[in-house]
Amino acid sequence: MMMVVALFMYGATQAQDFKIGFTYLEFIVYSMPEIEGIRSEVKTYEGQLGSNVQAKQTTFQTKYSELQAMAQQPNANQAAVKEKENEVIRLDKELKDYTAQAQQALQAKEATLMNPVYAKVQTAIEEVRKELGYNMILNMRVSASGDGIVLAADDSLNITEQVFAKLGVEMPKQPSPGDAPAETADTGNDK
């Protein structure tokens, strides 16, 4: 019996030493100075890909119109019509494939540009966690809908200001838990 009491007391003491804090990861990331350049680069790349898609779309439309005109001629060569039809089918497939590849390339480009920012912020969070003696830091908001891991917390556990200081970035007005997640600002790509 004495052993059970001792284990209970030890467990209670250990639980009191466990310190959990929270921050707003996306708010910090999208407040970083690099974000403006990333948005610009992603938008430029998206424009380039969009131009390529538009060019392929125009080629497809032209060939499709040619097929329709050819098929409506009363003396149309059926072999030529079939050949044009196969060309239109091929162009349609190429357009769809390229559009999907362009979307993947855009997402990959954005991830490539954003990953160093996330890593930099994560490093700062880890350094602040250690400096302040926290065992764990949770993200207050994890989705654009505002759903979060932390539903309620004492503001004294919020390390966001210290993370901004560690990064050497001025902290903008922080959203309150009920605010819309402004930190998930569009970087030019709908996810």
- Look at residue 4 in the predicted model and tell me its pLDDT: 39
**Res 6 pLDDT > 70:** no
Indicate yes or no: pTM above 0.85.
no
What beta strand segments (E) does the chain contain?
A: 20-23, 136-139
- Look at residue 14 in the predicted model and tell me its pLDDT: 54
**pLDDT tens column, 150-187:** 778 888 999 999 999 999 999 998 655 544 444 444 44
- Look at residue 100 in the predicted model and tell me its pLDDT: 97
What DSSP state is assigned to residue 134? -
Query: What is the percent of the chain where pLDDT is above 90?
Result: 64
What is the average per-residue pLDDT within 127-134? 96
Contact 60, 54 (CB under 8 A): no
How far apart CA 188 and CA 45 sit, in angstroms, is: 10
